[in-house]
Amino acid sequence: MTEPLVARLTNVTVEHAQGAILRGLEVDVPETGVTVILGPAGTGKSTLLRVLAGQTDDGIQVSGDVDRRRQPACLIRQARSRDGDATVGLDALAETLRSTNAPLILLNKPNRRVHPDEIDALTKLLNNKNTHHAVIVVTHHLAFAHQITNK
């Protein structure tokens, strides 16, 4: 018996005017748990989140099969203040996580501007959500990735 999925991407290619961003992507997203996407800047991690959320820009073309089995998805980008400079911190992220019932939660670098003293609190929030939701986290930090995938 196969594990229930919240989304499946089969042979997905994402392109813009300058060429392919992602090519031949195969992804199965289980209904629960944390999935971490790691990689250097500019490799399409944030673009993958937008494809999973169904929020691609006009200049982006997606081909292949994108099967979003359960919607809506909740895409959370790094929280910023209204002036766009300072982050609003962990509290705003925590409130968003607590209030969403979306089956798929997509977090783009949630630890990026979180104070080191708050990383444990962020990890706890993510671990509490992953038992009833699929959570995909994009990060550049291997230690944080281990922390949120190992309870």
pLDDT tens sequence across 92-127: 778 888 888 889 989 998 887 777 788 888 888 887
Specify the 3-state DSSP secondary structure of 88.
Answer: coil
Q: Quick check: 151 and 129 in contact, CB under 8 A?
A: no
- Residue 108 in tokens: 């783009």
Q: Does the structure show a pLDDT above 50 at 132? A: yes
What is the band of 81 on the pLDDT scale with cuts at 50, 70, 90? very low
pTM for this predicted structure: 0.84
Q: Each residue of 40-74: pLDDT tens digit? A: 888 899 899 999 998 887 788 999 999 988 778 88
Q: Does the structure show a pLDDT above 60 at 86? A: no
**Which of 42, 70, 67, 46 shows the shortest CA–CA distance to 56?**
46
User: In this predicted structure, what is the pLDDT of residue 111?
Assistant: 83
User: In this predicted structure, what is the pLDDT of residue 28?
Assistant: 93
* Distance from C-alpha of 74 to C-alpha of 69, rounded to nearest angstrom: 14
Which residue is associated with the tokens 């250097």?
A: 40
